[in-house]
Amino acid sequence: MKKYFLVMAAALLCMACGGKQSSVDDGPDTIAIEPCPTFEADSAMQSINDQCAFGPRVTGTEAHRLCGDYIVEKFKSYGCAVTEQTAELVAYDGQKLPGRNIIASTNPDCMDRIIICAHWDCRPWADHDPNPDNRKTPILAANDAASGVAVMLEMARQIQASPLKYGVDFICFDAEDWGMPDWDEEQYADAIDSWCLGSTYWAMNPHKENYAARYGILLDMVGGRGSKFAMEGVSRYYADTVVQMLWHLANQIGYASFFPLKDGGQVQDDHVPVNQIAGIPCLDIIPHFENAPSSFGPTWHTVSDTPENIDPAVLKAVGQSVLQLLYNDNAR
């Protein structure tokens, strides 16, 4: 997935919307920690391997179809009610893409809901690979984005064993990573944006009429070695209360090294349409590498995005922190 930092100034953001970004010190110093299941990183790692075994899951390919079927069956095996949302999506070059969003719901009849989401497609080109010969090769996408799906599946497994009183919608967005590669920028200079196609479609056409959720959490590249997750700017603007609670919880339960209490950049990602179109406060857990060629890490959009470069400790830090937030919410 290509992500790019939004260049809008904070003042322009405030004029365009009604949100508020507060100080990173605004969160609670001490939070009562509620009983919570243990996130098993080995289970999430196995799911990453399973997804990658299909090959690159580029939207519209056979590997993509087979992996989608795998994701549906895994969520069903964990007791989720699964809804599939299909649509013809249009890429920057006019290519028609058979989009497939997968929504897996716990406690589906409950009106009180929280969203956990990730994209599940692969970038069709390794356009940031250091070797120019690799740049038109599809990526295996162990981190970007099998890791987010894997964390959601393990969370669903734990919730089945220890049910929550509210409902969780695990949403797998398709066609996030079909944004224009550098080599087509001149030819398609006037093309419409084609990043985040599946999430934009869902935000405009939710899977249920009058759908509402209290908030959402987007998981993007949540397994890469060396990852640290700063507080992303768009997340702070629209969902800062949840950002503060999650980051402070992560620090309190032992994951301060993964969730530093500091600001990162503003990123274009699937949480943007969820916030701006669906009107649901949604934060993005996404790595922020400093002093690196890419702030998203060394394997981003390269052929090196493979299971060998996933760190189970990162999966554990993210999965356990989000689970803790959900179970803390369960006690409210």
pLDDT score of 192: 80
Q: What is the pLDDT of residue 119?
A: 98
Segment 3-28 mean pLDDT: 45
The number of domains in the chain is 1
* Closest by CA position to 4, among listed 137, 195, 173: 195
Q: Angle, nearest 10°, between helix axes 233-252 and 312-330?
A: 90
Query: For residue 193, what pLDDT band results from cuts at 50, 70 and 90?
Result: confident
Q: Which residue has the tokens 């929280």?
A: 114
Does 280 have pLDDT greater than 80?
yes
Residue 21 lies in a domain: no
- In a domain? residue 71: yes
Instruction: State the DSSP code for 146.
Output: I
pLDDT at 23: 57
What's the pLDDT score for residue 22? 53
Q: Is the pLDDT of residue 5 over 50?
A: no
Q: What is the mean pLDDT of the segment spanning 311-320?
A: 98
Residue 163, domain member (yes or no): yes
Residue 13 domain-assigned (yes or no): no
Q: For residues 94 and 188, what is the distance between their CA atoms, to the nearest angstrom?
A: 10
Report the CATH number at residue 136. Answer: 3.40.630.10
192 domain residue, yes or no = yes
Average pLDDT of every residue of the chain:
92
Whether residue 284 is predicted with pLDDT greater than 80 in this model: the reply is yes
Mean pLDDT of 78-85: 98
Residue 27 pLDDT > 70 = no
> Is the pLDDT reported for residue 10 higher than 60?
no
With 80 as the cut, is the pLDDT of residue 15 above it?
no
Task: Give the structural domain span for 78.
Answer: 32-330
pLDDT tens for 82-138 read 999 999 999 999 999 999 999 999 999 999 999 999 999 999 999 999 999 999 999
Assigned domain for 10 exists:
no
- Predicted confidence at residue 211, as pLDDT, reads 97
pLDDT of residue 285 exceeding 60, the answer is yes
- The verdict on residue 208 lying in a domain is yes
Residue 30 — very low, low, confident or very high, per pLDDT cuts 50/70/90? Answer: confident
| Lowest mean per-residue pLDDT among 11-15, 263-267, 276-280 | 11-15
Helix axes 312-330, 147-161, angle to 10 degrees: 40
Residue 15 lies in a domain: no
